[in-house]
Amino acid sequence: MAAAVLTPIEEIVDERLERRGVTVYMKRDDLIHPSVPGNKWRKLKYNLEAARNEGRKTLLTFGGAFSNHVYAVANAGHIYGFQTIGIIRGEEHLPLNPVLAHAVECGMQLRYESRERYREKGSDAYITELRSLVGDDFYLLPEGGTNELAVKGAAEVVDEIDVPADVVCCACGTGGTLAGLVVGLARRGQGAALGVAALKGAGFLRPEIQGLVGEASAPWDLSLDFHCGGFAKVTPELLGFIADFEERHEIVLDPIYTGKMMLGLFKMAEQGRWSEGMSIVAIHTGGAPRSHWSGLS
């Protein structure tokens, strides 16, 4: 059975950081698992365990047509012996995009919901109806996979950081990973968490993240300044930064999440946000393979 590995931490040696006296490390969680990338693996880990302990045979989840989470669940189900059902927002478009085509290859059953219906997905009425349609025996993973067990898994990345970490940084979609960093840093007793939002107008995430964090206390912040136009939107500056970063450091960033985080981090360094001598650990949360990026604009 494919298993997760202890991922390396690499220093990003870059004159733009040296000039500011800031040290940046990257925790290479993109290498954590051969087919369930990055933070999606961490967030699924305890959920898969719970599904198994409850004797569930099926994982059911929700997402948009390009969801890394849906992709990860399809892979995890295939590898760990669960059937999978993906409820996809919007209409079916054929041919399927690479994310959904791969999900189907993994055996995932797709169901499409109109945007209006999709909004109801959290309601009891919707879930009851779903049970009558697909049966009772599923383990429900929320959109983006964020729940308490996901936060527990995401927190573990902090325990693996063996370099100085004044700030630990991640990209934010639902905020589950950031909440995990806060919980992990509270346990470590040192360091602050910083999320970089991948979507526009993500201020609404702050109370949700606080709710996920609960009593754990470590300082944290969410930057709203580097979404580059919105979720899955890109700018020439972002794409240029990603290409240049790969050339300099031989690390591939994805344009939806990790590219925006690193662009933000470098810009914040340039703006003098961090004092000299600070040490920052950026989590490479993985992301979709390059073949899935085409068509972003």
Ligand X SMILES: *Cc1c(COP(=O)(O)O)cnc(C)c1O
Query: Which residues of the chain form contacts with ligand X (CB under 6 A)?
Result: 38-40, 68-69, 144, 146, 171-178, 254, 257-258, 285-287
> Would you say 77 or 286 has its CB closer to ligand X?
286
Q: How far is the CB of 288 from ligand X (least distance, A)?
A: 7
Q: How far is the CB of 68 from ligand X (least distance, A)?
A: 4
Q: How far is the CB of 126 from ligand X (least distance, A)?
A: 21
> Would you say 134 or 216 has its CB closer to ligand X?
216
Is the separation of the CB atoms in 282 and 288 below 8 Å?
no
| Sheet order of strands, 9-11 included | 9-11, 23-27, 279-283, 167-172, 192-197, 220-223
Three-state secondary structure call for residue 51: helix
Terminal Cα distance for the chain, rounded:
38
Q: Give, in order, the Cα–Cα distances in Å from 88 to each of 73, 126, 155.
A: 13, 14, 28
Three-state secondary structure call for residue 62: strand
> Would you say 21 or 203 has its CB closer to ligand X?
203
Q: How far is the CB of 15 from ligand X (least distance, A)?
A: 26
Q: How far is the CB of 197 from ligand X (least distance, A)?
A: 9
Q: How far is the CB of 61 from ligand X (least distance, A)?
A: 12
Q: How far is the CB of 236 from ligand X (least distance, A)?
A: 21
> Would you say 175 or 184 has its CB closer to ligand X?
175
Is the separation of the CB atoms in 227 and 202 below 8 Å?
yes
d(CA 204, CA 35): 31
Tokens at 134, concatenated = 């697909």
Q: DSSP class of residue 192?
A: E
DSSP strand E in the chain: where?
Answer: 9-11, 23-27, 58-63, 83-89, 109-113, 138-140, 167-172, 192-197, 220-223, 279-283
> Would you say 173 or 184 has its CB closer to ligand X?
173
Three-state secondary structure call for residue 139: strand
> Would you say 186 or 205 has its CB closer to ligand X?
205
DSSP string, 188-242: HTS-EEEEEESSTTGGGHHHHHHHHHTT----EEEE-S--TTSTT---HHHHHHH
Q: How far is the CB of 69 from ligand X (least distance, A)?
A: 6
> Would you say 21 or 211 has its CB closer to ligand X?
211
> Would you say 23 or 285 has its CB closer to ligand X?
285
Q: DSSP class of residue 276?
A: T
Three-state secondary structure call for residue 55: coil
d(CA 110, CA 106): 11
